[in-house]
Structure 1
Amino acid sequence: MTADSVMLTEAREAPQVIARQLRENVDVVAALAAALRERRPAYAVTVARGSSDHACTVLKYALETHLHLPVASLGPSVLTLYGARLDLRGALLIAVSQSGASPDVVENVRAARDSGALTVALVNVEGSDLAHAAEFVLPLRCGEERAVAATKSYLASLGAFLPVIAALTDDEALSAALAGLPDVLSRTLDVEASADDLAQRYRFAENLLVLARGLHYGVAQEAALKLKETSGIHAEAYSAAEFAHGPRRLLAEGLPLLGFAPSDAARDATLAAYDDLRAAGADLRTIGPAPGSTLPTPATGHALTDVLPSALAFYLFAAHLARHRGLNPDAPPGLSKVTRTR
C-alpha cells in the first residue's frame, strides 16, 4: 500500500473544504444567527453517532464557553427503541451526519422539530432525509467522501457552526481566525513528514490511551476511534483530568499515551497533567499548538479554530501509522461507509 491512501488524500483536501464552506454558507449562517437571536434557546442538545458525535463534543465546549448555552447529548435510542418523546420546547437541536441517512438521527430531528425545538442539520448530502427533516441546514461542503474513515467531513463538522458563533458574539478574533483557517490548514499539511516520523514510534502498539481536555477532548475521542478503525489498535480516550483517577493504574502496564496539547485556557492544567505523567514514567507524545508539542500544529488565533489543525495533523499521523503496520486504512475489516441504525 502506498502512502497515498484515499484517507490521506481526502485529509489533504481540508483547506479547500473549509474555504468552500466559509464562502458558500454565508446566507444560511446569517439566517440561522437571526433565528437564534429572535428565539433565544435556553439550552442545546446534539444528536449524532461515531465521528459526528465526537464533533458534537467539541461543539458542546464551543457553545458552553462562548454562547453560555448548556449542552446535552441525546441518546437516539431513547426515541427509536424506547419510544420516549422528549419535550424539547425552547431547545436548539443540532444533528451532525455526513450522509444524513441514519434513520435514528432523522427520527430524532423530526420529533424535536414537532415538539418546538429549533433544529439544525450539519450534513454533507444536502438532499438527504436529515436535511429535509431539519429547519436549518449547514452544508459541510465536502464533496464526495469515499474513505470509510471520515476525515474531511469531521473537520468540516468542526468548522460549520463556528461562523454562527462568531455572528452571535461579534467575536472579531474568531472571524479573523476563520478567514485565515484555510491557510493555516494548508500549513498544517507541512507537518506530514513529522507525523510520519511520529507514527513509526507506534507501529507495534496494540493499545493506546489518548488524552485531552476542553475543546480538544472531542478530537481525542475521534483519534481513539480512528486508531481502532484504521490500525486495529485498542485505543481509548480520556480526559487528562479524569485519567488521574482510576485509569492511571494502566500506567503500570506500560501502555503508551498520546496527548493533545492546547494553547487555550486548558493549556496550563493539561500540560501540568502531562508533566506529572511523564514524571511517573509514562511514554507520552503530544499533538497540538502548545509550545513543546511533539507534533506541533500552527496556531489559528482562536481556541475554537485551533482544534482543526490538531485533528488534521492527527489524521496524517493515523494514515501513515496504518501504512507502517501494513494495513489499508481505506478498507477496515467489517466496516462500511454508511451505517444505518434505529
Structure 2
Amino acid sequence: MSLQTAPDPLMLQEARQAPQVIERQQRQNAEAVQHLAAALRERRPPYAVTVARGSSDHACTVLKYALETQLSLPVASLGPSVHTLYGTKLDLRGALLIAVSQSGASPDVVENVKMARAGGAMTVALVNVESSELAHEAEFVLPLCCGEEKAVAATKSYLASLTAFLPVIAELHPDQSLKNTLSRLPEALTQTLNLEAEASDLAERYRFADNLLVLARGLHFGVAQEAALKLKETCGIHAEAYSAAEFSHGPKRLLAEGLPLLGFSSADAAQSATLEAYASLVASGADLRTIGPSAGSDLSTPQTGHALTDPVASALAFYLFAGHLALHKGLNPDAPPLLSKVTKTR
C-alpha cells in the first residue's frame, strides 16, 4: 500500500502560474494598452492617484515609483474613506486615477472610481474579474488575466498587478528597453521558479520567528510591504515593512530585542544605498538575510533586464519563501484564521 503525499498548497500552485499569467496578460491586453497610451498622450495628466486595499495597495506603491521615475508623473495614494465615510468629493479634474483590485468588488474602491470619473478624472481599473462593478465603472480597463485565484493569500494577482501597467509606461517612454524586457519577463519568472528549493532552505532559518522586520528601498519597497502582509497572513508572524532609509530613525531600536530582518536588495539606482544600510546593520549585529537581484543576496533572483521588472521576480521568490515557511511551521497557508478571499470595505 503506497502512501499518498498531500498536494502543495494552492498558494504555491498559483504562484507557479506566474510566467503563464504574465505572458497571457501581455498578449491579451495589447490593444487596451495602445488605447490607454494614446489617451494619456492626448490628455496628459498633471498627476496620478491610486486607490486600492491590501496587496493591491502594495502593488500601487511599486507603480508609484515606476510612474515617478519613468514618466516624471507625481503619484499619491488616495484614502478611500475620505469619500465613502467622510463624504468628501475630491477635486481630481484632469488627474489619472488608477484603481487596483483582484475582485473588483470592494464598494469603497468602486465608489471612488465613480466619484473621480464624474469629476473629470481619467480612470483606469487593473482588475481580474472583468465582469465586476469596478471594471464597469472605469473608463479604461487593464485586465490582470489571472484566471480564478482560489488561495486566500493573493500571489499571481499581485504579480499581475505589478505588470499590468508596465506596457503603458513602455509605450510612453522613448527608451525601448522596457518593452524589450517585458517580452522576456515570463522566461525570467520561469527561472525564478527554479529557486524554490533555495527559497525553502532560506525559510527554514525563520521557522521559529514570531516577529520579523522587512526592509527595502525604492521600487522594491512595495514588495517589502506585501511580504510583511503575507507573513502575517500565511505564517502568523508579526511582520512590519520599513524603508531601509527610515529604519535607523527609530525602528532600529528593535534590534536590541533580537528581532530578525529580511531585506530586499535591488540592482538599480537604489542598490548602493540599500547595501550600505544593510552592511551597517550587519556590523551592528543584526540577523539579516536578503532576497533580490543584487549580487551576494542570500536568495539571488534573476536580473530581468530592467529596474521595473526586477521586483516581479523578487516578489515571486518571496512567495515561494513564504509558502514554505508556513509549511516549516506546520501551518496551512491556504487556511489563515479569521480571513476570507474577498474583503468588502466602505
Please name the residue that 2:264 is paired with. Answer: 260
Contact 1:100 1:130 in 2 (8 A): yes
C-alpha distance in structure 1 between counterparts of 2:120 and 2:103, whole Å: 25
- Structure 2 match to 1:108: 112
1:199 matches 2:203: yes
How far off its partner does 1:170 sit? 2.9
Structure 1 counterpart of 2:290: 286
1:165 and 2:169 equivalent?
Answer: yes
Say if 1:2 and 1:322 are closer, same or farther in 2 by CA, change over 3 A: farther
CA positional deviation for 1:316:
0.1
Q: CA deviation at 1:3?
A: 6.6
Aligned mates of 1:170, 1:4 — CA distance in 2: 43
Deviations 1:58-90 (A, max 9, x none): 000000000101100000000000000000001
Q: Distance in 1 between matches of 2:195 and 2:249?
A: 34
Per-residue Cα deviation, 1:194-226 (whole angstroms, up to 9, x for no partner): 000000000000000000000000000000000
3-state secondary structure, aligned to 2:308: helix
SS of aligned partner of 1:94: strand
Aligned to 2:314: 310
Residue 103 of structure 2 corresponds to 99
2:262 aligned counterpart, secondary structure: strand
Match in the other structure for 1:325: 329
SS in 2 for 1:222: helix
Q: 8 Å contact 1:3–1:320 — kept in the other structure? A: no
Conserved 8 A contact 1:2-1:323: no
Q: Deviations over 1:65-124 (max 9, x none)?
A: 001011000000000000000000010000000000000000000000000000000000
Structure 1: stretches of 5+ with no match in the other structure: none
Aligned-partner SS, 1:30: helix
Give, as a single letter, the amino acid of the residue that structure 2 aligns with 1:291. A
CA distance in 2, matches of 1:109, 1:332: 30
Aligned with 1:304: secondary structure?
Answer: coil
Tell me if 1:68 matches 2:78. Answer: no
**Is the Cα contact below 8 Å between 1:148 and 1:330 reproduced in 2?**
yes
The 1-side partners of 2:255 and 2:325 are apart by: 22
1:22 corresponds, among 26, 31, 56, to 26
Give the drift of 1:2: 4.4
2: distance between equivalents of 1:67 and 1:88? 19
1:1-342 aligned within 5 A: 2=6, 4-342=8-346
Contact map agreement 1:204 1:325 (CA 8 A) in 2: yes
Listed one character per residue, the Cα deviations across residues 265-288 of structure 1 (whole Å, up to 9, x for unaligned) are: 000000000000000000000000
CA distance in 2, matches of 1:69, 1:161: 14
Q: TM-score, normalised by structure 2?
A: 0.98
Q: Which runs of 5+ in 2 are unaligned?
A: none
1:197, 1:304 → 2: CA distance? 27
Q: Secondary structure at 2:195's aligned position in 1?
A: helix
CA contact (8 A) 1:256 1:283 kept: yes
TM-score with structure 1 setting the length:
0.99
Contact kept, 8 Å, 1:11 with 1:151, in 2: the verdict is: yes
Question: Per the alignment, in what secondary structure is the counterpart of residue 31 of structure 1?
Answer: helix
- CA offset digits 1:10-64 (Å, max 9, x no partner): 0000000000001110000000000000000000000000000000000000000
Dislocated runs of 4+, deviation >2 Å: none
Counterpart CA distance in 2 for 1:169 and 1:189 is 30
1:85 alignment partner, SS class = coil
- Cα distance in 1, alignment partners of residues 75 and 169 from structure 2: 14
In 2, the alpha carbon distance for the partners of 1:68 and 1:288 equals: 25
Q: CA deviation at 1:138?
A: 0.2
* Preserved CA contact (<8 Å) 1:56 1:96: yes
